[in-house]
Amino acid sequence: MFDYQAPANLLANKNILITGAGDGIGRAAALCFASYGATVILLGRTEEKLEYVYDEIEAAGYPQAAIVPLNLESATETDYDSLAAMLEQEFGKLDGILHNASLLGMRTPLEGYDPSIWQRVMQVNVNAAFMLTQALLSLTQAAENASIVFTSSSVGRKGKAYWGAYSVSKFATEGMMQILADELESVTNIRVNCINPGATRTNMRANAYPAENPATVAAPADIMPVYLYLFGDDSLHVKGESLNAQ
Ligand code: NAP
């Protein structure tokens, strides 16, 4: 596991938006960031799940969260502009964006891959992350310093049979991170990096590896140290890196 001990107030006064915050790693990140003092903005497609996380944060006495129901598969430029305007009005600045939501798609040879599923995966995993970043960049520039984190995978670094659009989308994610990090290199207050979570006990993992005993892989809460590191000020100098959570 990535070795980092965060101070208790690491994320105090930081506003951090998390996509796919209703379940899996996104939910764990939301609860963890809030426990370190962040105001978390929970973006996801299933409103009830977001409300559940919101309630968990409230019950724990952490800073009040915000909920943004948005389906990244169908969201348009207008939706992203409205979101940016709403966040500008409510928060004035964004100290962090965690691009976490993703679709797994099919685990099948390219030869038989359904093109409509391919497009859905690319829309959520790549295009939505691009449009969301573009819409929110000026809000991150308004922060004293901001961290943008994309979520990668081992199959985004080395292609593997049957991983199809998911793998291609993660290569694209690594590329998008590198491009943005390079473009923002002179903008010293924004840093852009990737995290590869590694095998983690979520619905996505269970769908990808149905025969695996879930008890043998890390729980989402276990992999949080690298997330804390990249969103807290101890990583101000880290730019354009792809880190492993495990
Ligand atoms: P997960 O359990 O499937 O959770 C994904 C979250 O993204 C869910 O909350 C889901 O919403 C949301 N989401 C999916 N499509 C969306 C859409 N169209 N609009 C808005 N939200 C959407 O997956 P996870 O395992 O936590 O994965 C989180 C990230 O880690 C992903 O980027 C994944 O590729 C990466 N990753 C995971 C593993 C692993 O072993 N788990 C390994 C490597 C990389 P719903 O709750 O409504 O379904």
Task: Report CA(103)–ligand 1 centroid distance (Å).
Answer: 6
Specify which residues 15 forms β-bridges with: 39
- 21 near 68, Cβ under 8 Å? no
> Measuring from atom 2 of ligand 1, which residue has the nearest CA?
24
Give me the tens of pLDDT residue by residue for the chain, a chain 246 residues long. 999 999 999 999 999 999 999 999 999 999 999 999 999 999 999 999 999 999 999 999 999 999 999 999 999 999 999 999 999 999 999 999 999 999 999 999 999 999 999 999 999 999 999 999 999 999 999 999 999 999 999 999 999 999 999 999 999 999 999 999 999 998 889 999 999 999 999 999 999 999 999 999 999 999 999 999 999 999 999 999 999 999
> Measuring from atom 47 of ligand 1, which residue has the nearest CA?
46
User: What is the model's pTM?
Assistant: 0.98
Most informative mutation of 32, 107, 167, 204 for ligand 1 (most atoms within 8 A of CB): 204
Taking the CA atoms of residue 127, residue 129, residue 131 and residue 137 in that order, the dihedral angle to the nearest 10 degrees is -160
197 lines ligand 1 (CB under 6 A): yes
Which sequence spans correspond to the domains of the chain? 15-244
Q: Which atom in ligand 1 lies closest to the alpha carbon of residue 49?
A: 46
169 lines ligand 1 (CB under 6 A): no
Most informative mutation of 202, 223, 242 for ligand 1 (most atoms within 8 A of CB): 202
- Catalytic residue numbers? 166
DSSP SS3 for 45: coil
- Kindly tell me the number of DSSP H helices and DSSP E strands found in the chain: 8, 7
25 lines ligand 1 (CB under 6 A): yes
Q: Is 241 exposed, middle or buried (0-12, 13-18, 19+ CB in 10 A)?
A: middle
The CATH code of the domain at 15-244 is 3.40.50.720
